[in-house]
Chains A and B, each alone.
Chain A
Amino acid sequence: MTRAGMTATLIWALAALIAAIIAIRARYTADLSAFLPRRASATQSLLVEQLREGPAAHLIIAAIAGADAEARAAVSRQMALRLRTNPAVLAIDNGNEAQLERDREFLFGHRYLLSPRVSPQLFTAGGLHAAIGAALTVLASSAGPLVKPLFLRDPTLETLAIIESLDASHARHSAAGVWSSPDGTRALILARTRASGADIDGQQAACAALERSFAESIAALPSAQRAALTFSMSGPPVLAVASRATIKGQVWRLSGLSAACIALLLLAVYRSPAILLLTFVPVASGALAGVAAVALGFSVVHGITLGFGVTLIGESVDYAIYLFIQRSADFRRSVWPTIRLGVLTSICGFAALLPSAFPGLSQLGLYSIAGLAAAALVTRFVLPAWLPRTVRIRDLTAVGSYLERLLARLRAARGALLLIALLAATLLYLHRGALWSRELNALSPIRATDMQLDEQLRAAAGAPDTGYIVAVAAPDREAALAAADAVGTRLTPLVERGVIGGFDSPTRFLPALAVQDARRRSLPPAAVLRANLDEGLQGLPLTAARLEPFVRDVEQAREAPLLRQADLAGNSLGLVVDALLVRGSAGWSALLPVSARDSADLSGAAIAQVRSAVASAAVGAELLDLKGEADRLYSGYLREAVRLAIGGFIGIVLLLFVALRSAARVARVVAPLALSVLTVAAAFAALGHALTILHVVGMLLIVAVGSNYALFFDRAGVRAAEGSLPLTLASLLVANLATVIAFGVLAFSSVPVLADLGSTVAPGTLLALLFAAMLAPPVPRTTPQAALR
């Protein structure tokens, strides 16, 4: 080994060690965070916070199906019993009576602090006459048996008023004493995990606890029943755990698979295990450098970014292939400049992704730049030093010569390219309206079957995924509650007019202290209340003496302390308040979910009315349309990605101008790349597959990888004497096969992000090679000696 080689090896070893340390210490994630913005408006950050940390991110809906209702109910009770003591689960709800009873008792016990009707007016003679008169009509109605037991203590029916204000538009179904789906085929359990939305390990523990509790609960049953019972669950924690597992599994499996396939290919080509090993040195170095760069540049490395490691195999393996196959006597002078230009064009393309607001894209950009640069440098400076003195690789000149003859035929058919271009352009024009997918869900790593199960369980649990929330921000809890109250006052008329179906508010169970205090102060002393009852009950079928329990309760309520958030702990209403009153990074937020009538989407007109009602409250509240907001966010990314990709393309063209100094040569390099991008896009359009942001990235990769091919053809046209055309062709074919394998494997991923990328790049690079060959400049006459030199 030369002294320079020694130095390069030393530097490489040191850099690899440092990169490995950085990579090991880095934080990895697989949640939706890659799809969330770095620069966000206040609305968007609330949205992001809700998605990642919000209360819904803790909810698991579990279903027990099969056997009969009794068996399902028995399992549901057993599971609830086991899960209540599990530290991973914060709360469990299977709809049993005891729990409902606790909640009802709480509402009844605090009715004079909670009921919005409580005011001094209610307790005057006139107010009592009206309220009790109305209560008597309820007593006479079908609800009579319900209110009768409470009537003497609560003759104005404040408990009922609170309950009715909750807008219970749908009944919760039950079978054999536990909560069941409306069709009665499944017992349902709602679990709230202790771990936050971002803590996927914690979520995983909760999911495992649910599954284990099911297994334990059915263990005691007869085997026929045990076999008939099935368990399923969904909800954000389940989906997050599943998608992390999917991404993790796929990253390893797909990387392994494509590496193995490429290894087989190269072994067949080289017939030398040592050379094969050397080929993977730049690949591994590049991957390590990429991860380390992302870990340094970003706070967390996304699992998806590692998935792109596969893409790096596809390109960086090419460099070593060029080195080994072309094994020109003077690699440094003849082959390296072309590779160098190829690397630079790739870096130029990926650099365009760096400024993206979409962290997924900028991570990919940085990863690729660092990875490709490292792979190229290792190929140039380290690998040659490690090459055995006598390289024994199979001579591909014969294959190359065949390719050379093929090339001549391909060049003759170059006219067909015009036809292809026309056809592609026409297809794209025809499908111009439906070219792009504008839904963020298109990127979600969640499998379609999981998504379906989620929808089914949500429907069964009566929790459709409508996503309109009025968010109120305030510096402290009391201010947030007061503001929520103000917004609620403005929304109530919209409910009455039927503009919206209803809304919820944390103030239903936890009114602001000032509001509670005002309600408490409106309760009259016993003597006054008795006198008012005497007068107010004139003409009604009962006397004041019968309502002594009411007088006692009011007297007690006058002395009772005000209700605080901590008082709600332990009943399920507390969970509602915790969900709707959240402490954010900057103060408190109250959330008021707004539902449309008939659980549909809100109409544009309804949204406008809600917005103006919210604005009129003048408390700094905003209506969030969660899915719309997320899709808008994504559309923004998509537009940005297209802009950046075009910028990257222009950058590449400029770079080529500087390097090649000839418009004709630049055109010949760029044309096949542009044409293959066009063809792939047209194929997707024709197949009805809407393009996502990852297709755009894929197109950039076609240009980045394909530019190497086009540059080699260009070099062959200009300086044929410096290299062997057959060997160049053979190396291009092998390199392209490796790339197609790497991305082709990716195309079969069940993670849409990876599949989109793979299905774009694999055919795209193949076409790029083909088109570049067809457009290759005429090769200057060379003597066989020169070619074989």
Chain B
Amino acid sequence: MRAPPRAELRERRRALLPRPLVGCAVLGWLLVIGGPPLVSSAAESADESAVFGELLRLLAERRHDHVTFTEVQQLAILDRPLHSSGELLYDAPDRLEKRTLEPRREDLVLEHGMLSVERDHHRRSVALRDFPQAVPLVESLRATLAGDRAALARYFTVQFSGTLARWTLELTPTDATVERSVQHIVITGETDRIRTVQIRQSDGDTSTLTIGAEVVP
């Protein structure tokens, strides 16, 4: 026996929301946690390529991270920047979490290809597969952290500079749909630690994430 209007209602409801919300969450997440998707560009010198390979190896060796972060967003529609802060967690090979504590709690988790957002006691999840435009970004991040160099080459043009002790990566998306929202990502770091992730969006808005101290559990 069928339960009447429920089915239809759920359909409508489902149709309406989560998609844009979580889709944006995916992008937001990527914009913020950024990660170091690294592929040596053709222009690199042999030296830099070697350093880059070493960096990738070091990053892949880290199995776990738990750090604080602060974030500053410059939006054209506002007169002053927005500040937020919280913690970042990473567990190899494919679990990432961004826990924003101030000014508003939000928990964003990427795990086994599922992305979920929890805000105000509401949790929403989507499969990354449903957002093909976001897959390259996420996959590059995951593959980098897992040390999978080949998987990255597809999605970004990477400009590596600096030394292992102090390096900078500039990532430019090659996929047109991703490019529409993200112009480029600049990541700086020291050996196997990321220090800042700066994302510049196509509309000129920027967000800068600065990694702070390690959180001792």
With A141-B106, A143-B28 in contact, is A593–B3 under 8 Å at CB?
A: yes
Nearest chain A CB to B12 CB, angstrom units: 5
Q: Which residues from B are CB-within-8-Å of A151? A: 77
Q: How many Å lie between the Cα of A136 and that of B1 in the bound state?
A: 47
Q: Identify A51's interface contact among B2, B119, B127, CB under 8 A.
A: B2
Besides the known contacts A100-B16, A141-B119, A469-B6, 8 further A-B residue pairs in the complex with CB atoms under 8 A apart: A140-B83, A168-B13, A171-B14, A184-B129, A466-B3, A504-B5, A541-B79, A626-B1
Residues 179 to 195 of chain A near chain B (Cβ within 8 Å)? 179-180, 182, 184, 190, 192
Q: Identify B32's interface contact among A56, A142, A171, CB under 8 A.
A: A142
Nearest chain B CB to A261 CB, angstrom units: 36
The 8 closest A-B pairs by CB, nearest first: A467-B3, A142-B28, A541-B80, A137-B104, A463-B7, A579-B5, A172-B14, A56-B4
Nearest chain B CB to A637 CB, angstrom units: 14
With A56-B3, A148-B75 in contact, is A163–B17 under 8 Å at CB?
A: yes
Do the beta carbons of A146 and B129 come within 8 Å of each other?
A: no
Residues 463 to 501 of chain A near chain B (Cβ within 8 Å)? 463, 465-469
Do the beta carbons of B125 and A576 come within 8 Å of each other?
A: no
With A51-B2, A168-B124 in contact, is A142–B117 under 8 Å at CB?
A: yes
With A142-B108, A171-B124, A573-B12 in contact, is A591–B100 under 8 Å at CB?
A: no
Judge whether B20 is part of the interface by a CB distance below 8 angstroms. Answer: yes
Q: Which residues from B are CB-within-8-Å of A543? A: 79
CB nearest to B28 among chain A residues: A142
Q: How many Å lie between the Cα of A16 and that of B18 in the bound state?
A: 65
CB nearest to B6 among chain A residues: A593
Judge whether A704 is part of the interface by a CB distance below 8 angstroms. Answer: no
| Count class of interface residues, chain B | 35 or more
Q: Which residues from A are CB-within-8-Å of B100? A: 141
Judge whether A362 is part of the interface by a CB distance below 8 angstroms. Answer: no
9 interchain pairs, CB-CB under 8 A: A56-B5, A143-B119, A163-B21, A168-B16, A458-B7, A461-B11, A546-B79, A576-B8, A593-B6
Nearest chain A CB to B84 CB, angstrom units: 5
Nearest chain B CB to A194 CB, angstrom units: 15
With A100-B15, A103-B15, A463-B7 in contact, is A145–B181 under 8 Å at CB?
A: yes
Do the beta carbons of A100 and B19 come within 8 Å of each other?
A: yes
Interface residues of B, Cβ cutoff 8 Å to A: 1-25, 27-29, 31-32, 71, 73, 75, 77-84, 98, 100, 103-104, 106, 108, 117, 119, 122-127, 129-130, 181, 205
Q: Which residues from A are CB-within-8-Å of B125? A: 170-171
Judge whether A138 is part of the interface by a CB distance below 8 angstroms. Answer: yes
Q: Which residues from A are CB-within-8-Å of B31? A: 145
Nearest chain B CB to A70 CB, angstrom units: 11
Q: Which residues from A are CB-within-8-Å of B19? A: 100, 171-172, 174
Judge whether A139 is part of the interface by a CB distance below 8 angstroms. Answer: yes
Q: Which residues from A are CB-within-8-Å of B2? A: 51, 56-57, 235-236, 465
Do the beta carbons of B32 and A626 come within 8 Å of each other?
A: no
CB nearest to B205 among chain A residues: A148
**Interface flags, A573-584, vs B, CB<8A=1, else 0:** 101100110000
Q: Which residues from B are CB-within-8-Å of A145? A: 24, 27-28, 31, 181
Nearest chain B CB to A145 CB, angstrom units: 4
Nearest chain B CB to A675 CB, angstrom units: 37
Q: How many Å lie between the Cα of A144 and that of B72 in the bound state?
A: 13
Q: How many Å lie between the Cα of A145 and that of B26 in the bound state?
A: 10
Q: How many Å lie between the Cα of A145 and that of B15 in the bound state?
A: 19
